[in-house]
Amino acid sequence: MADHVILTRFNLPSKGAESYVRAKEGWLTERVALFERYCLPSVLAQSDKRTRWLIYFDPESPKWLKDKIAQHGDAYTPVYRAEVSREELRSDIRSLYSQVGEELITTNLDNDDGLAVDFVERLCAAPRPTTTAAYYLVNGLIKSPGGLYHRVDRHNAFVSVRETWDEPVTCWAHWHNHMHLHFPVVELGGAPGWLQVVHGGNVSNRTRGRLVSPDAYKASFGASLDDVTAPGSLAVAQDRLVSQPVRFMRDSGRVAAKNAAMKVLGKGGFEKIKQKLAARG
């Protein structure tokens, strides 16, 4: 049997472009609200209750945030670190268990995202690999001011890594969209397994996919979709014929430009360019 741990970076002091977004006034307050609205309830609602949850916080977090964390009780294990090395991560994960199973599964979860109630159950029931492997539930939902969108993302941010307990590398070993370059990948289909929310404080999320009614997904995502109205037939038709092709062309251009920049600049150079652009606001 595999042990399962969710890993979340809440407000770790970050480098690169994201640091400028997180330094803005109100970012932390908004993230706590999103966490309590989407992320926390979705983990507590999991049908498989064996999951452990590690959340990393900045040691310099304000008192009001630490009070909030205390109010959340034993929903997760908070860890305060300025940065997290692989050795520290392994130690923190191991400390969650008095006795471990045969394998370890780790899943990345951002603090403003949510999971379907059966995410963990489906993940843990997936075929076991013969070696370390990355897992993706490829279908998900994106909630934006324009409505709810069904998205197929084969290399999404909800990546999991299944491996032995012998010096695990975890789901934080590489960028979530680069895992296929390092590990065999297992893609799991089925109903949407995750929810991303487009909001003003997003670093990278944007509306993608096709417009859908929330009705078919409310059982899996609970109150997260309560404020989403079902689109009319005209809105769906306009999305299919006009908006969706425009989004596809936009995203294809961005992906092509990003890949070209990565080849020329490398990962480090690409991050430096992002940082300079973010600093300009």
pLDDT at residue 272 tops 70 = no
Q: Give the pLDDT confidence of 151-190 residue by residue, as tens digits.
A: 999 999 999 999 999 999 999 998 988 888 889 999 999 9
* Per-residue pLDDT tens over the stretch 53-101: 999 999 999 999 999 999 999 999 999 999 999 999 999 999 999 999 9
Asked if CATH classification 3.90.550 holds for the domain at 2-231, the reply, yes or no, is: yes
Q: How confident is the model at residue 18 (pLDDT cuts 50, 70, 90)?
A: low
The answer to whether 59 and 10 have CB atoms below 8 angstroms apart is: no
Question: Quick one: pLDDT at residue 201?
Answer: 58
Task: Supply the DSSP string of 192-246, one letter for each residue.
Answer: --EEEE--TT-SS----SEEE-SGGGHHHHGGGGTTPPPPPHHHHHHIIIIIHHH
pTM of the model: 0.83
Place of tokens 């652009």: 277
Residue 273, pLDDT above cutoff 50: no
Q: Which of 139-143, 145-149, 267-271 has the lowest mean pLDDT?
A: 267-271
